[in-house]
Amino acid sequence: MNDALSLLQPYPFEKLRALLTGVVPPADKRPIALSIGEPKHRSPDFVAQALRDNLDQLAVYPTTLGIPALREAIAGWCERRFGLAAGAVDPARQVLPVNGTREALFAFTQAVVSRAADGLVISPNPFYQIYEGAALLAGATPHYLPCLAENGFNPDFDAVPSDVWQRCQILFLCSPGNPTGALVPLQTLQKLIALADEHDFVIAADECYSELYFDEANPPAGLLSACAALGRHDYKRCVVFHSLSKRSNLPGLRSGFVAGDADILKAFLLYRTYHGCAMPVQTQLASVAAWNDEIHVRANRELYRAKFDAALQILAPVLDVQRPDGGFYLWAKTPGDDQAFTRELFAEEHVTVVPGSYLSREIDGLNPGAGRVRMALVAPLTECSEAAQRIRDFLERR
């Protein structure tokens, strides 16, 4: 067996199950899960119809590169969404369809990390656990940058020593962040691009929450925006990851893309050809329909805005919690230990949240997630409001 498997830590939800084992919640209160970030809004009917209309493609072997129509739809979406010039993304060389960002982030790390080097994979802390597992199984060492309130829940990149940047092979960004919801500012992205040039590492920007924001007039910038602002149309050392899961409420479609540096994607395509993870053609055609429509995405954002408004109105008087820059999580500070808060809340109110310490690693005595919980506002508005009221009742009893 691969020795690196022994380095993998239990997933946060395994820890959560263990924490709640033996706890009997009140039977008169229906369970409300704010723990798992699985979108619950209705999937677009026209995407489901496109899937049904193309079921004859079940008889076709898909190619790893994907059909031209999908790559063209993705390139066009990138140009519209991030204010790029027409033709700024080459669908033949700078786009690669993937089966959701989770598998792509993992596979990308295996393809990029050089095992001959004493390499680091740098990520925010707290973080999406795939970054860590992918690094360990690729033979690299994870390096964590704390995301603290005093720095807007973004890493303090200026505090990273030069020797750490020199060993860096991949810098993972997540903007808006999971679980913090923090956006990485455009100027910071540009600074990181300069560091990538200086120290020769790859920036892998996980932007799967990029379409969940609050101001319709000001969609957040991404790594492609930063490249364009620098006149960097080859996106050298820069790669972005996007998905239809959150944007379009299609987590079961397993459809996303990677875009950016053509040389990196050429090597990644080779890896994926051997990996054997081509997207089925009927899924690709359904994805074309989704990337070409923004009406359902705006409606999706409106649903999340309503839930944030309702939950924050209820919780703000009793809990240290703020509206994030984006995403669908609340990153709330707990009055005391986050694990005890989670267990007691479940025991008394039948509401499930995730301890922030489960989403982070303790480095030099600091766990930046300790004393916080993540609440995913994915349930219907009525359930999110009820959960918020139960949390308020729970706190007011103390």
Taking only the tens place, the pLDDT of each residue in 335-394 is 999 999 999 999 999 999 999 999 999 999 999 999 999 999 999 999 999 999 999 999
Kindly state the percentage of the chain with pLDDT values over 70: 100
**Which pair of structure tokens corresponds to residue 262?**
């053509």
Query: From CA 250, how far away is CA 300, in angstroms rounded?
Result: 12
Mean pLDDT, range 39-61, rounded to an integer: 97
Helix (H, G, I), strand (E, B) or coil at 314: helix
Looking at residue 316, its pLDDT comes to 97
Query: From CA 140, how far away is CA 116, in angstroms rounded?
Result: 10
Q: Nearest-5° angle of CA 129, CA 131, CA 134?
A: 105
Mean pLDDT, range 281-306, rounded to an integer: 98
Q: Nearest-5° angle of CA 231, CA 237, CA 240?
A: 85
Q: What is the CA radius of gyration of the chain?
A: 21
Cβ neighbour number for residue 22 with a 10 Å cutoff: 8
Looking at residue 143, its pLDDT comes to 98
Looking at residue 65, its amino acid is L
Q: Are 120 and 169 in contact (CB under 8 A)?
A: yes
Query: From CA 41, how far away is CA 307, in angstroms rounded?
Result: 12
Q: Are 142 and 129 in contact (CB under 8 A)?
A: no
Query: From CA 95, how far away is CA 64, in angstroms rounded?
Result: 12
Mean pLDDT, range 144-171, rounded to an integer: 97
Query: From CA 317, how far away is CA 326, in angstroms rounded?
Result: 22
Residue 250 pLDDT greater than 80, yes or no: yes
Residue 50 pLDDT greater than 80, yes or no: yes
Fold of 3-42+296-396: Aspartate Aminotransferase, domain 1 (3.90.1150)
Query: From CA 230, how far away is CA 216, in angstroms rounded?
Result: 25
For the chain, the average pLDDT equals 97
Looking at residue 58, its amino acid is L
Q: Give one DSSP letter per residue of 217-275, joined into a string.
A: TSPPP-HHHHHHHTT-TT-TTEEEEEEHHHHTT-GGG--EEEEE-HHHHHHHHHHHHHH
Query: From CA 134, how far away is CA 140, in angstroms rounded?
Result: 9
Residue 227 phi, psi (nearest 5): -60, -45
Does 3.40.640.10 match the CATH number of domain 50-292?
A: yes
Taking only the tens place, the pLDDT of each residue in 107-144 is 999 999 998 779 999 999 999 999 999 999 999 999 99
Do domains 3-42+296-396 and 50-292 share one topology? The answer is no
Looking at residue 116, its pLDDT comes to 78
Looking at residue 204, its pLDDT comes to 98
Looking at residue 117, its pLDDT comes to 76
Domain ranges of the chain: 3-42+296-396, 50-292
Q: What share of the chain is helix, strand, coil (3-state, %, to 5)?
A: 45, 15, 40
Looking at residue 188, its pLDDT comes to 98
Residue 187 pLDDT greater than 80, yes or no: yes
Cα–chain-centroid distance for residue 42?
20
Looking at residue 398, its pLDDT comes to 86
